[in-house]
Amino acid sequence: MSVQFSGEPMLDMYIFETTQNIEQLEKCILDSEKSSGYSQAAINEIFRIMHTIKGSSAMMLFNNISTLAHSIEDLFYYLREEKPDNIDCSLLSDHILTGVDFIKVELHKIINGEKADGNPSEIINDIKSFLNELKSKNPGFMDKIRPESEEQPRYYIAPTKNKASSNYNAYQAVLFFEDGCEMENIRAYSVIHNIKEFTEEVYYCPEDIIDNDNTIEIIRSQGFKITLKTDKNYDELYKFFNQTVFLKELQLIQLEDSFEFNKFTESEQKEVKAEAVMVPKTDTDSKKPSGKDTQLTGTTSGQNIISVSVAKLDKLMDLVGEMVISEAMVTQNPDLKGLQLDNFQKAARQLQKITSDIQETVMSIRMVPLAMTFQKMFRIVRDMSKKLGKEVKLELIGEETEVDKNIIEHISDPLMHLVRNSIDHGIETAEVRKSCGKPPVGTVTLEAKNSGSDVVILVRDDGRGLNKNNILKKAQENGLLQRPAADMTDREIYNLIFMPGFSTKDNVTEFSGRGVGMDVVLRNIESVGGSVSVDSEEGKGSVITIKIPLTLAIIDGMNIQVGNSRYTIPIKAIKESFRPSSKDIIMDPDGNEMIMARGKCYPILRLHKLYRVNTSITELTDGILVMVEHESKTLCIFADELLGQQQVVVKALPQYIKAKLKGKGLAGCTLLGDGGISLILDIGGLVNI
């Protein structure tokens, strides 16, 4: 089948849908656990999801996922049909979640182009024994495997019926079905069902095809034998049987007389107690669906949401960026300088308005609420509080806050890490909490809110808080202290935990501190232009504040000129810009230029030197200094002149430039209104050069 599915879209769709299903499933489980029990709706939902995953995975030949999904499906089939009331919900959740995790891991392998080769047999066995245990606790189901909800009424066809008719021909047919068509017994049943439309004198072997799954094997090995009487001639009957789907082989013989017919029927059906054949009632009206369900008008289920690949959105965003630039190129065209163009200006303003509307709309398309990312944390809180024996509840505030899709992907892992940290290191055990006079259940709060062009996410816990002395001690041991401890504010001390190589917990636990420290969190957040800080009160808890830009694509920038090159500095990094006077310029002992401003000394960075740009302005007093700040580090950038403020579209640097200029403080590039290129400075990178 893999040959058939060489087309990637199929795999993409599989991955997309299965991932979604898994997320939905997880949410369903956690919701159920929270409401302390699985509602019938939840059980149905889980059953349906597992059924879908089973089917899709089998089609893609991911058999390990398929069989695992099958075993969970079986479990929920049982729950759905039997409604046992003595389920250990927490144990049940554990089992499914283990299964869900397995599927996640396999999916991940598939996404990465690896082979999904995990072995689920252990999990399947666990689920099966759980199911068996449930069954033994709820006797009465033991022997019924997937029974019908209600017993079908049956009736017997008397073989003597219609015998009066003399022009009946007797036939015997043996049908073989194709290998691998599955459910041969029901296929056989389907044939009998169709035969009964024209004759009721029909016998078949094996007989109990519906109730006995073992008949599948008999049909496979010996074929499905039918003897019947009908007024059809041989050709007609032959044609009839040949219409059977998945028919591999058909043997049809006409029997000479009714004697032979009886002989056949008797020999074939020796074991039959009655001389009649049992055929389930075919009356479709017996289970007439309620009128509401069958109304042909149906319910309106028009699709309101379509899924679009992110690549297309990225492309669209790119194009909109180009359009913003082109618009500037047209309306600010140097050829127009000095001309009196009233009508043109009017039209240009209209164009401007529409462009910015489009830009806003496209940006809003890319915005995704943080809810999904936040919801994932419930699982972590659940697993951890169980393993660590701490009682923790997670509160979400402002999860509807929206962030650019690309950014969301980058903050999911850091958030997970922070939540783990809070529970592992922050929240105390119930006993300790009680003795401190706190409620026994710890609270971790995830809060998101908009602030200007940033989104702020707070991870707050009401645990023991950070211990200043421990942090200082550890920092000293690891040689991370650059200043005497006495000079540092509390905040500065707390923020030491983000330094690379810092870790206060000596014992690495299962959940946090697997060699990955807070510095990785910081790096992740910084990679999307965000920042992280921590504040804490000993004994009361701590708050970690993550600030991330709403979107990466468009920033407010200040354009500056150096020689013939232009650079863009993100506005939010700029503190001030000024013309230095020569008396304020000093040299430090190493020969670095510094500038005094309001009694403080700041390093100067000459862009023309850093990027080896030729410029006539090399005297500091001829140019301008732009003071920028990043993470409380300040720097003055020396440029020829300021060109003005503008919204710029951030474009990634081409790979070859990126490789060459790595670590040179460039975040990307952008096109300016006149068609020229400007390099966007990465202030975080520059202050650390």
Partner 1 sequence: MKKILIVDDASFMRLSLRTMLEKNGYQVVGEAENGNEAIKLYAELKPDIVTMDITMPELDGIQALKAIMQFDRTAKVVIISAMGQETKVREAVICGAKTFIVKPFKEEQLIQTLDKIANM
* Binding footprint of partner 1 on the chain (CB under 8 A): 1, 4-5, 7, 9-10, 13-14, 16-18, 47-48, 51-52, 54-56, 58-59, 61, 66, 70, 73-74, 77, 146-148, 178, 180-183, 185-187, 189-190, 193, 210, 213, 243, 245-246, 280, 282, 284, 287-289, 293-299, 301
* Whole-angstrom distance, CA of residue 567 vs CA of residue 565: 7
Q: How many residues does the chain have?
A: 689
| Strand 600-606 relative to strand 633-639, pairing | parallel
User: Smallest gap, in angstroms, from Cβ of residue 378 to partner 1?
Assistant: 24
Residue 51: is it exposed, middle or buried by C-beta count within 10 angstroms (0-12/13-18/19+)?
middle
Token pair 């017994």 in the structure block, residue: 185
CB nearer partner 1, residue 57 or residue 524: 57
216: amino acid identity, one letter: I
| Strand 565-570 relative to strand 677-681, pairing | parallel
CB nearer partner 1, residue 302 or residue 334: 302
DSSP state of 288: P
In DSSP terms, 625 is beta-bridged to 578, 638
User: Smallest gap, in angstroms, from Cβ of residue 405 to partner 1?
Assistant: 20
CA nearest neighbour of 413 among 522, 531, 548: 522
Q: How many CA atoms lie within 13 A of 437 on its CB side?
A: 2
User: Smallest gap, in angstroms, from Cβ of residue 247 to partner 1?
Assistant: 9
CB nearer partner 1, residue 12 or residue 357: 12
User: Smallest gap, in angstroms, from Cβ of residue 560 to partner 1?
Assistant: 50
User: Smallest gap, in angstroms, from Cβ of residue 637 to partner 1?
Assistant: 52
Q: How far apart are the first and last CA of the chain?
A: 55
Residue 243: is it exposed, middle or buried by C-beta count within 10 angstroms (0-12/13-18/19+)?
exposed
CB nearer partner 1, residue 4 or residue 112: 4
User: Smallest gap, in angstroms, from Cβ of residue 419 to partner 1?
Assistant: 32
* Whole-angstrom distance, CA of residue 565 vs CA of residue 670: 12
The b/e string for 356-388 (b: 16+ C-beta within 10 A; e otherwise) is eeebeebbeebebebeebbbbbbbbbbbbbeeb
How far is the CA of 506 from the CAs of 474, 502, 503, 509, 514, in angstroms?
10, 11, 7, 9, 11
CB nearer partner 1, residue 188 or residue 377: 188
CB nearer partner 1, residue 189 or residue 567: 189
User: Smallest gap, in angstroms, from Cβ of residue 151 to partner 1?
Assistant: 12
User: Smallest gap, in angstroms, from Cβ of residue 2 to partner 1?
Assistant: 12
CB nearer partner 1, residue 211 or residue 622: 211
* Whole-angstrom distance, CA of residue 41 vs CA of residue 31: 12
CB nearer partner 1, residue 183 or residue 274: 183
CB nearer partner 1, residue 188 or residue 648: 188
User: Smallest gap, in angstroms, from Cβ of residue 652 to partner 1?
Assistant: 32
Residue 487: is it exposed, middle or buried by C-beta count within 10 angstroms (0-12/13-18/19+)?
exposed
Q: CB–CB of 376/394 below 8 Å?
A: no
User: Smallest gap, in angstroms, from Cβ of residue 1 to partner 1?
Assistant: 6
CB nearer partner 1, residue 21 or residue 551: 21
How far is the CA of 671 from the CAs of 105, 317, 361, 648, 651, in angstroms?
42, 14, 21, 8, 9
In DSSP terms, 40 is beta-bridged to none
CB nearer partner 1, residue 221 or residue 299: 299
CB nearer partner 1, residue 76 or residue 511: 76
CB nearer partner 1, residue 146 or residue 612: 146
User: Smallest gap, in angstroms, from Cβ of residue 307 to partner 1?
Assistant: 9
In DSSP terms, 641 is beta-bridged to 561
Alpha-carbon torsion angle 139, 144, 148, 150, nearest 10? -50
How far is the CA of 303 from the CAs of 10, 306, 307, 364, in angstroms?
21, 7, 11, 20
User: Smallest gap, in angstroms, from Cβ of residue 336 to partner 1?
Assistant: 51
Three-state SS annotation for 120-166: CHHHHHHHHHHHHHHHHHCCCCCCCCCCCCCCCCEEEECCCCCCCCC
User: Smallest gap, in angstroms, from Cβ of residue 182 to partner 1?
Assistant: 4
Residue 135 CB coordination number (10 Å): 17
CB nearer partner 1, residue 194 or residue 333: 194
User: Smallest gap, in angstroms, from Cβ of residue 55 to partner 1?
Assistant: 5
Token pair 């999860």 in the structure block, residue: 399
Sign of the Cα pseudo-torsion (495, 501, 504, 508, in order) = positive
